[in-house]
Amino acid sequence: GENVEQHPSTLSVQEGDSAVIKCTYSDSASNYFPWYKQELGKRPQLIIDIRSNVGEKKDQRIAVTLNKTAKHFSLHITETQPEDSAVYFCAAKGEDSSYKLIFGSGTRLLVRP
């Protein structure tokens, strides 16, 4: 089945710097890759997603890139702000299932003012 690995587990950046979180997946047929943000004590919420027919997607300060050959995808946050501090999860949906997402173990991002 699908396996998703996420790095790093913690990331500390200065406000205004960029942050990059990387994930690799095992199922070459996976076709949907979302990123969720979870603030302390809150529920995870989708911030951006990408499908396998697209290489990059941007939404204001966040972007996701997908490399299907290498089976990895990354979240890029530019001009980080203290409110970006949270845990970020990547996930992948395998081709064999329209219903299941497999999540990475999460990255705790701290943006220092």
Partner 1 sequence: NAGVTQTPKFQVLKTGQSMTLQCAQDMNHNSMYWYRQDPGMGLRLIYYSASEGTTDKGEVPNGYNVSRLNKREFSLRLESAAPSQTSVYFCASRDTTYEQYFGPGTRLTVT
Identify the residue among 11, 13, 101, 110 touching partner 1 (CB under 8 A).
Answer: 101
Q: Residues 43-72: x/- map of binding to partner 1 (CB under 8 A)? A: xxxx--x-----------------------
Residues 6 or more apart whose CB falls under 8 angstroms from that of 28 comprise 68, 71
Piece in contact with partner 1 (CB under 8 A), picked from 41-49, 56-64, 65-73, 74-82: 41-49
Q: Which residues bind partner 1 (CB under 8 A)?
A: 6, 9, 32, 34, 42-46, 49, 89, 93, 98-106
